[in-house]
Amino acid sequence: MFINLKKYLPIILLIILACVVRLWFVFSINYTAEDSFITFQFARALSRGDGFAINPGHPVYGTTTPLLTILLAGWLLMSKDIVTGARILDVLGTVGGMLFLYLAISKKREALVALFIMAISARLYIEEMQGMEMPLTFLFLAASLYGIIRKKPYFSGIMAGLMLWARIDTVIWVGCLFLVVLLDNFQSGLKYFISTSAIYLPWVIFAWIYFGSPIPLTVTAKLIAYGIHSPPPIDHLQTIIRYVSWPIFILSLFSIPSILKIKSFWIFPLFIVIEIPLLVLTGTTYFYRYFYLLLLVCYILLGFGIVYWSERIIGNSTKLKRYLLPITLMLIFIFSWNSVRNSTDNHSLRNGVLQHMGEWINTNTPPGSTVLLEPLGYVGWYADRIMIDEVGLVTPEVVKLDGRLPASEFFRVFWPDYVVWKCGAGGTSRAEIMQYYSIVQNFGNQNQPCVYEIWKRMLTLPEIFN
């Protein structure tokens, strides 16, 4: 049996384009997200036999992506270059997601337009190539959709279960898909629910026994750390729509009529209607990756809408169609690239400082030293010491403080051997911390001579408490 290459040539070319663009991004900017290194630390601990514990002997549900953590732990048994391993998984996830989405959508013109937008969207490939789990969620989103459209509820449920393993906040997509299937056919909905539960329930039981709770500590920690001074709901809504971009968001809404005849595609507007209010009401807009699935859904709707409205507005004018589509798609690329390039450049400078700082700690501090710090990712990975993070992502004792104490006062609670201090930070005055700690090193970059300082405790704990 031979594959009809001519039939699949467009999607093959689009996948190649997506891979080329993403690899170009990797080699030209070489940007890896700060939070990806938190997952890397859990993967390293797992590969060492320490379990889900960045600090040995203290297991904590500090990763929202157990699937990526386990996959990267396996990679570390073969190679120490974890960033390359994460990026390979990212590319594979993107390729798989594009292929399943193409197979799921019977209207191939609409599918190809949506996939072309995904291939060239700067916002999308920057989220996908940061070494995190986002491409895996794309893969399972597309695969679960494929299963429902092709009347394979068991397969769809398995993919939905794996999606929850990849990222817990995808539960909204999983739930919306269940509602759409259930309303269409009760038996199919039941099969979907059973297979999803069979895949994800073992992790829930494991987490409850191993960590003491099925809810990631990171969820509680971030709500406390970032939610104390949360802006009003309208600001959260504006943040979401600015990220997606007003033109794309509005065009996506106008694209909804193009999919109403296909029941399985009702999940797209349903997901938007539930996801956006939930993000706004919970105030979880402090990281752009929380909008990744929303952006994917908007791009899918946009693909349908461009074809739908061009046929109704332009009609049979082949010449106009020939020029309108490429111009529209290139505008999407240009619109998203400029702002994102500036953002990643700034983050890359900061992450370079964090990596240097972590390497310095690894070289100049005794093994087993305790370090109070924020952020946790780069420094924690390269330092490989006992970390006390100010947000509480891997430090339950910080979460128990429930925001009653400013982070600048945490050194009085934990008395770590070293403190990572942000230059110019407010709160405790330098005079107060200098009673117990002294500066041993500062770190900066070409734009800012002092970004962080490292302080070492001068007194022993008996001397402090006596």
Closest CA to 177 of 198, 199, 202, 156: 156
Question: In this predicted structure, what is the pLDDT of residue 316?
Answer: 58
Question: In this predicted structure, what is the pLDDT of residue 434?
Answer: 82
Split at pLDDT 50, 70, 90, the class of 130 is confident
Give the model confidence (pLDDT) of 80-91 as tens digits. Answer: 999 999 999 999
- Say which residue the tokens 């990212």 belong to: 90
Distances (CA, A) of 329 to 107, 294, 299: 19, 19, 11
- Say which residue the tokens 């379990």 belong to: 51
- Model confidence at 1: pLDDT above 50: no
- Find out whether 194 and 153 touch, Cβ atoms under 8 Å: no
Closest CA to 170 of 32, 300, 289: 289
- The Cα 371–Cα 416 span in angstroms is 6
Split at pLDDT 50, 70, 90, the class of 463 is confident
- Find out whether 291 and 242 touch, Cβ atoms under 8 Å: no
Least confident segment among 216-220, 354-358, 362-366: 216-220
Q: How many residues does the chain have?
A: 466
What sign for the dihedral angle of Cα 103, 109, 114, 120? positive
- Say which residue the tokens 């170009």 belong to: 24
**Mean pLDDT value of segment 233-258:** 86
Q: What are phi and psi of 426, to 5 degrees?
A: -85, -165
Give the model confidence (pLDDT) of 369-390 as tens digits. Answer: 999 998 889 999 999 999 999 9
- Model confidence at 338: pLDDT above 70: no
- Say which residue the tokens 């979880």 belong to: 284
Give the model confidence (pLDDT) of 158-193 as tens digits. Answer: 999 999 999 999 999 999 999 999 998 999 999 999
- Model confidence at 332: pLDDT above 70: no
Better-predicted residue by pLDDT, 321 or 128: 128
- Say which residue the tokens 């009673």 belong to: 435
Partner residues linked to 437 by β-bridges: 457
Task: Reply yes or no: is the peptide bond before residue 202 cis, omega within 30 of 0.
Answer: no
- Which residues contact residue 13 at a Cβ distance below 8 angstroms, ignoring those fewer than 6 apart? none
Split at pLDDT 50, 70, 90, the class of 244 is confident
**Mean pLDDT value of segment 388-407:** 85
Better-predicted residue by pLDDT, 214 or 107: 214
Better-predicted residue by pLDDT, 240 or 310: 240
What is the DSSP annotation of 211-274? TS-SS-HHHHHHHHHHHTTPPPHHHHHHHHHHHH-HHHHHHHHHTGGGGTT-GGGGHHHHHHHH
Q: Which two tokens stand for residue 12?
A: 């093959």
Mean residue pLDDT of the chain comes to: 86
Split at pLDDT 50, 70, 90, the class of 347 is low
Question: In this predicted structure, what is the pLDDT of residue 4?
Answer: 66
- Find out whether 223 and 402 touch, Cβ atoms under 8 Å: no
**Mean pLDDT value of segment 450-461:** 87
Helix (H, G, I), strand (E, B) or coil at 400: helix
- The Cα 31–Cα 135 span in angstroms is 16
**Mean pLDDT value of segment 1-13:** 74
Question: In this predicted structure, what is the pLDDT of residue 349?
Answer: 60
Better-predicted residue by pLDDT, 97 or 130: 97
- The Cα 51–Cα 209 span in angstroms is 13
Q: What are phi and psi of 284, to 5 degrees?
A: -90, 70
- Find out whether 86 and 132 touch, Cβ atoms under 8 Å: yes
Question: In this predicted structure, what is the pLDDT of residue 201?
Answer: 97
- Model confidence at 314: pLDDT above 70: no
Closest CA to 395 of 366, 418, 373, 379: 373
Distances (CA, A) of 250 to 115, 218, 286: 19, 33, 22
Give the model confidence (pLDDT) of 28-67 as tens digits. Answer: 777 888 889 999 999 999 999 999 999 988 999 999 899 9
Distances (CA, A) of 15 to 92, 163, 433: 11, 22, 54
Question: In this predicted structure, what is the pLDDT of residue 275?
Answer: 94
Q: What is the dihedral of CA 326, 330, 333, 337, to 10 degrees?
A: 170
C-alpha angle 361/367/368, rounded to 5°? 105
**Mean pLDDT value of segment 7-22:** 88
Helix axis angle, 82-104 to 66-76, nearest 10°: 130
Calculate the CA 373 to chain-centre distance: 22
- Find out whether 166 and 140 touch, Cβ atoms under 8 Å: yes
